A and B are shown apart, each in its own frame.
Chain A
Amino acid sequence: MIVDLTDTTAGAIAAALVQARHSAGVPAVGMVMTLVIVTDERDHYDALRAALDAAREHPSRILVTILRPGKMKERLDAEVRFLGDSGPGETVVMRMHGELADHAESVLVPLLLPDAPVVVWWPGHCPAVPAKDPVGALAQRRVTDAAATGDPVAELGRRSRGYHPGDTDLAWTRITQWRSLLAATLDQPFGPITGGSVSCEVGSPSAELLALWLETRLGTSIDRVVTDGPGITGVTLRSEAGDIAIARPDGRVAQLSRPGQPERQVALVQRETAETIAEEMRRLDPDDVYGEVVGKVTGVTEPTAVLPGQPDAASETSGAADAQ
């Protein structure tokens, strides 16, 4: 059942949710968190779909907040979807018109589940300092997505300057499988890593974070190599014994090679948004490792090498990013 409430208030929405639960005869609330999605008319459909998928793992009250600032008189319209219509949990899609778009938190506060953690997700544009944003301040976890903006790498710089514990970015979440595979590779005894590279398509914030993570952890400089993609196409780690290389030219299957061992294949599929948002909802404490890595972002990243076969114009700038 879907109930439309036009020109309404947060109180009326809360009442509709309670009413729905009573009429369904569900006395206990099994939802474990509130997920607030702050978005616009363009992005809300895909974001909600991903959130509903993630809610199968983390039953949540999902509050979709579509901001429509402008000159029109302030007004709140809501669409309340009840348990079972759209998966586990409850969903409210709200449109906040006019001046109300600047005061979304006043609508959200009465709708948060008592005590349960709050996650705010900006699938597109997000405030400069998420933790200081009135909506962001409600949450334990603030999820942004640099890749969804016009200039992802510059956006990563803004994320770095505006970072507060509890922030994460989906660009970081997308490389969990890469990081996991790399960590697993180094679980086997190996000499010190003396250098390496990350290859990716141009302007990938995930690749930048991956390179910075490797630099932080390995204490060596990592080159950035531009390829045609998709996404991150390879990582190489150099050591005295030879190179460990993971190549993923097609965004699906990677070849892992290391000296003295047969080449192996491993599935390394680019993940759907739903999977990444579910991963974010799994851990709600601050991600210190992300904080450390994003803190190293300069926002100005030039490729230190280009595709093999093209003039190697960038080799002198190698390591420039590390100097800062």
Chain B
Amino acid sequence: MTSPLPPALANPLRDPRDRRLPRVAGPCGMVIFGVTGDLARKKLMPAIYDLANRGLLPPGFALVGFARRDWADQDFMRVVHDSVKEHSRTDFREDVWANLAEGIRFVPGDFSDDDAFAKLRATIQELDDTRGTGGNHAFYLSVPPKFFPAVVRQLKEHGLAEGPGDAWRRVVIEKPFGHDLESAQELNRVVGEVFDSGSVFRIDHYLGKETVQNILALRFANELFEPIWNANYVDHVQITMAEDVGIGGRAGYYDGIGAARDVIQNHLLQLLALTAMEEPVSFDAAGVRIEKQKVLSAVRLPKDLAANTARGQYAAGWQGGVPVIGYLQEDGINASSTTETYAAVRLDIDTRRWAGVPFYLRTGKRLGRRVTEVAVVFKRAPHLPFEATATEELGQNALVIRVQPDEGLALRFGSKVPGTAMEVRDVTMDFAYGEAFTESSPEAYERLILDVLIGEAPLFPRHEEVEQSWRILDPVEDFWAAQGQPEQYPSGTWGPASAADMLARDGRTWRRP
């Protein structure tokens, strides 16, 4: 023990068997750009507090807000305090808050303001000195994508993109990652000029959800499912993300983007990748990413896009007992807008495992209820040794992974109806693991922020995946652009008639989630 030890010596207090010890980030801080926005107030700052409360943030953690407000540190602290108190998941404890508050700073300024970035640099330096953040900082760009180039260039110009010595600098960006392949590549180029790809974290908060991570556990930790997870047994897969709300105040963002770019490109294709990918050789970031990329590269669009896609716009109607207006009547939306609020698309995967198994993806606003799920629908039994009347009500077996709300897993299978006659009917067995097994189900942002600070990337899509998904979606967008007005569907229903027709042509129907 007395001989000098190499600096790379493993921490003697860490032991792989000692699994009580949580993963804790090393000394570091986070800078949030656009800190006055909804996301920062409702999700990021409460998540940071919750992490602190669970003892997962390093001692001396620092939080710097950057925004165009004439605030002092105290004003910002009040904002953080209020948003944490209102939105945090765990109890508000004064001790925890007091510790966190000591490391909170605010830098007022514009993204073009050199003085502000100079001040940011000085602030980070001061935090390294007083809080011991060691030069490690993550920059969270909670701003519209059009500002990304300006911010990353400023970070570079003011020497903020590289830390001193071994210290790390990471950048976190939120979707949308571009609006087509070309813009995604451009965005990647801009960010890539300043940060290497291992330091860029693209946040898709769906991927931080317990259930999404559980897809991998379900598939690869069990003997039960994997043997039937292929074209021999699976008839088709339906991936749905339905929202019951309209566009609300997001007209400026949403119009011209639409449901497919907003949801299918990232959330649904990521869910598809996790559902369809082969078993990774290991669960580290590289292993999972390779398999996701592989399966995305095998995704093929049908030739006849008219028959295999559907889109719609919500019209006025009644939703959950409330009369609501249609998309074209929303504030800030052009009455002749062709932006879709509902999108459905059939995709095929050209692999041995999935040949002939269509994946139907759909998303929409103002649908029947809010739900996100992956439904794997199995083939019918090849022979039913019952009288035809006994199995009239028997559908197809299905395994449904419910991502939100009420995260859980449902299995649908046939069971005899009690009584003297032989009659088989579908029943559902439902397991809600929103409650079971989770550390009171941490909010996805907590998990993702912690992963950024620790530097673990398996849950973050890399630019290759982003570009793959635009490659899949771009032809659909081009096709739709030439089709004029999307079909109207009444709010509160499950989408336009063309979506139902699209599945009917394949002899299938959408599940009612």
Contact = CB atoms under 8 A, between A and B. Distances in A.
Interface of A: 27-28, 30-32, 56-59, 88, 173, 176-177, 179-184, 186-189, 191-194, 214, 217-220, 252-253, 256, 261-262, 264-269, 279, 282-283, 287-289
12 contacts: A28-B429, A30-B436, A181-B55, A183-B24, A214-B13, A217-B12, A217-B13, A262-B60, A266-B60, A266-B99, A267-B55, A289-B15
B96 A179 contact: no
Contact of A261 (B5, B102, B132): B132
B479 to A, nearest CB: 44
B432 interface: yes
Given A59-B435, A186-B14, A253-B98, 15 more contacts: A30-B431, A58-B436, A59-B436, A179-B20, A179-B21, A180-B20, A183-B14, A189-B9, A194-B2, A214-B13, A218-B13, A267-B52, A267-B95, A268-B55, A287-B20
A58 B24 contact: no
B24 to A, nearest CB: 4
A27 B19 CA distance: 35
Contacts of A253: 95, 98-99
Contacts of A184: 24, 26, 58-59
A253 to B, nearest CB: 5
Contacts of A179: 13, 18, 20-21
Contacts of A182: 13
Interface string B96-107: 101100100000
A27 B415 CA distance: 13
Contacts of A186: 11-14
B303 interface: no
A206 to B, nearest CB: 14
Interface string B129-141: 1111010000000
A1 to B, nearest CB: 21
A147 B130 CA distance: 39
Interface stretch (B227-235, B354-362, B437-445): B437-445
A173 B18 CA distance: 12
Contact of A264 (B55, B60, B98): B60
A264 B436 contact: no
A180 B22 contact: yes
Residue of B26, B129, B436 contacting most chain A CB atoms (<10 Å) = B436
Given A30-B431, A56-B440, A191-B4, A289 B95 contact: no
B96 A267 contact: yes
A267 B99 contact: yes
A102 to B, nearest CB: 34
Contacts of A181: 24, 55, 59
B205 to A, nearest CB: 22
B249 interface: no
B13 A32 contact: no
Contacts of A31: 436
Given A28-B431, A267-B52, A262 B129 contact: yes
Interface majority SS on B: helix, strand, loop or mixed?
loop
B484 interface: no
B430 A28 contact: yes
Nearest to B411: A28
Interface of B: 1-2, 4-5, 7-9, 11-15, 17-22, 24, 26-27, 52-53, 55, 58-60, 93, 95-96, 98-99, 102, 129-132, 134, 427, 429-432, 435-440
Contacts of A59: 435-436
B136 to A, nearest CB: 11
B95 to A, nearest CB: 5
Given A28-B430, A58-B437, A180 B11 contact: no
A269 B93 contact: yes
Contact of B21 (A58, A176, A214, A265): A176
Contacts of A268: 55
B12 A218 contact: yes
A269 B97 CA distance: 13
Nearest to B19: A283
A288 B431 CA distance: 31
Nearest to A28: B429
B11 A30 contact: no
A265 B134 CA distance: 16
Nearest to A213: B13
B163 to A, nearest CB: 14
B99 A32 contact: no
Contact of A256 (B52, B59, B440): B59
Contacts of B53: 267
B20 A176 contact: yes
A193 to B, nearest CB: 8
Residue of A58, A59, A183, A253 contacting most chain B CB atoms (<10 Å) = A183
Nearest to A237: B13
B26 A187 contact: yes
A180 B12 contact: no
Contacts of B438: 57
Contact of A220 (B1, B8, B24, B429): B1
Residue of B7, B17, B18, B58 contacting most chain A CB atoms (<10 Å) = B18
A181 B26 CA distance: 11
A289 B17 contact: yes
Contact of A283 (B5, B9, B20, B93): B20
Residue of B20, B27, B131 contacting most chain A CB atoms (<10 Å) = B20
Contacts of B98: 253, 265
Given A183-B21, A188-B27, A264 B13 contact: no
B418 to A, nearest CB: 12
Contacts of A177: 55
